[in-house]
Amino acid sequence: MRLPLGEIFTNQSGQKIMRELDSLERIIGIKFINQDLLRQALVHRSYLNEHPKFHLPHNERLEFLGDAVLELVVTDYLYHHFDNPEGELTNWRASLVNATRCAEVAKEIQLEKYLYLSKGEAKDKSGKARNFILANAIEAIIGAIYLDRGYEQAAKFVKNYIISKLDYILANDLYIDPKTRFQELIQEKKGVTPQYKVLKEEGPDHNKLFEIGVFVDGELIAKGQGHSKQEAQVAAAQEALNKMNS
């Protein structure tokens, strides 16, 4: 069963407005054969808690698929377009496929207004939590494109919205691992090595969310979240760098 285009829903101001996915298709330049795949990519788990009879599941399986497709497309592109050492290409890839980059893409295409969120999640505009929801939705959309239109269309989306940022990343040295940059700064200033500790982990095994703190001389400097410990460590290091530069 598919809901008709122009499904009515209530926004945060209590106004009745239309959730029109045709406009999102126009933005990303891809017309879905089965638009419910695109719709599912926008369904956050919290929405189903309030709407258990909704006809589609949440987007976590699509996110799982899209994450793999995203990494493959970026890896394939870097391998065939650059002759750099493996270590450099790994850093470049990490700078393209991380949650921060995906969240930026989500904001670029104004994805937030299309998301299916619980009332609580819709009201919570806190940066980190919302950015993870946005980043996950981008990965889910990539997974949906792959299922609906195949690898080439998924690769087109990734190239247009993610790989297109590579020149800027390289020009501004944004590919350098935040953990490396933070460690070099702390060793230069204090002569010690930062330590990372897991503060919290939650979620099912296939979609864990880790919160990790970075400590210097036993003092908590910053926290970061990610779907792997490595990703959370990088986020914590980046937050620590942001604090140092503010």
Percent composition of the chain: helix, strand, coil (DSSP 3-state, to 5): 60, 15, 25
Candidates 60, 63, 67, 239; catalytic one: 67
52-75 tens-digit pLDDT: 999 999 999 999 999 999 999 999
In a domain, 2, yes or no: no
pTM for the model stands at 0.73
Residue 63 Cα to chain centre, angstroms: 9
Does residue 208 share a domain with residue 166? no
pLDDT at 127: 65
Are 211 and 163 found together in one domain?
A: no
Q: Annotated catalytic residue: which of 60, 63, 121, 139?
A: 139
Span 118-133, pLDDT tens digits: 888 877 766 677 888 9
Last residue of a domain, one of 171, 195, 211: 171
Domain termination site, one of 171, 198, 222: 171
Active site residue 50: no
Residues 184 and 165 in one domain: no
Q: Strand, coil or helix: what is 79?
A: helix
DSSP letter at 82 equals: -
pLDDT band at 20 (very low <50, low <70, confident <90, very high): confident
CATH number of the domain bearing residue 195: 3.30.160.20
Q: Is 7 a catalytic residue?
A: no
Q: How many domains does the chain have?
A: 2
In terms of domains, do 223 and 142 share one? no
User: Tens digits of per-residue pLDDT, 131-187?
Assistant: 889 999 999 999 999 999 999 999 999 999 999 999 999 998 778 788 888 998 899
pLDDT at 9 exceeding the cut of 60? no
Q: To the nearest whole number, what is the mean pLDDT of the chain?
A: 88
Pick from 171, 197, 214: which residue ends a domain?
A: 171
Q: Give the pLDDT score at 160.
A: 97
pLDDT tens figures, 207-224: 789 999 999 999 999 999
Same domain, 76 and 19: yes
In a domain? residue 1: no
For residue 86, the enclosing domain spans: 7-171
Tell whether 151 and 127 lie within a shared domain.
yes
Same domain for 96 and 30: yes
Cα(228)–Cα(241) distance, integer angstroms: 20
Instruction: Kindly state the tokens that stand for 100.
Output: 């921060």
pLDDT at 1: 29
For residue 17, give the CATH number of its domain.
1.10.1520.10
- Mean per-residue pLDDT for 7-35? 69
Q: What are the φ/ψ torsions at residue 211 (nearest 5 degrees)? A: -115, 125
d(CA 187, CA 82): 32
Among the ranges 146-155, 199-208, 226-235, which has the highest mean pLDDT value?
146-155
Give the separation between CA 39 and CA 36, rounded to whole angstroms: 5
Residue 82 confidence (pLDDT) above 80: yes
Q: Which two tokens stand for residue 191?
A: 């002569």
Q: What is the pLDDT of residue 126?
A: 63
